[in-house]
Amino acid sequence: DAGVTQSPTHLIKTRGQQVTLRCSPKSGHDTVSWYQQALGQGPQFIFQYYEEEERQRGNFPDRFSGHQFPNYSSELNVNALLLGDSALYLCASSLAGSASYEQYFGPGTRLTVT
Amino acid sequence: AQSVTQLGSHVSVSEGALVLLRCNYSSSVPPYLFWYVQYPNQGLQLLLKYTTGATLVKGINGFEAEFKKSETSFHLTKPSAHMSDAAEYFCAVSDRSNGFQKLVFGTGTRLLVSP
């Protein structure tokens, strides 16, 4: 049973560029959440997708957008990259309505903006 | 709003010694609490969780945590540290609304284990 997978593993972009990160949830899960983890910090919630709609959003600008596909996979898009967007981006999947309240995390995508 | 405070950005112990990582939370509703571990260049792995019921929770790798409502704490302990326990540990509280939850994390504690 495959867990949460993310691609790519690492990415280097230049300021002002756009980036797309991808996530496939754990088998059986229908909800995907994205977190940003800056160096030396705890993960910060970006947004969450369920039934192809954004259900919750953290305190991130509109430059951060996402999408969820019918197969529950998800993309995170960041436009007009800033140096401060350099971070580890984590995807977490879960099952809506589950009593376990667990989120399963992928290995992350390390984004470096130069 | 929910929040988490982890006291001590670094904790150093000797192999075989007791591990104690501190976590205090703030929550306007009965909290769901989690401890995650992160090894270098990896994602987060769930160690244990508290939702309801027994306040002493046992997790993987010999870790356990006790939910103390009166102290708003959820400290993580392990009786005897192993070298393989060296990692970053994050405490998190669940922020639930409209049937969906997000996790609010602390800033993490790096556990260093010396021989």
pLDDT tens digits, A54-100: 999 999 999 999 999 999 999 999 999 999 999 999 999 998 877 77
Instruction: Place B27 in a pLDDT band, splitting at 50, 70 and 90.
Output: confident
Under an 8 A CB cutoff, do B43 and A33 touch?
Answer: no
Q: Which residues on chain B are in Cβ contact (under 8 Å) with A96?
A: 99-100
Q: Do residues A109 and A11 lie in contact, with contact meaning Cβ atoms separated by under 8 Å?
A: yes
| A42/B90 touch (CB, cutoff 8 Å), yes or no | yes
Which of B23, B35, B100, B110 best probes binding to A when mutated, by most A CB atoms within 10 angstroms? B100
Q: In degrees rounded to 5, what are phi and psi of residue B3?
A: -150, 160
Q: Check CB contact of B110 with chain A, cutoff 8 Å.
A: no
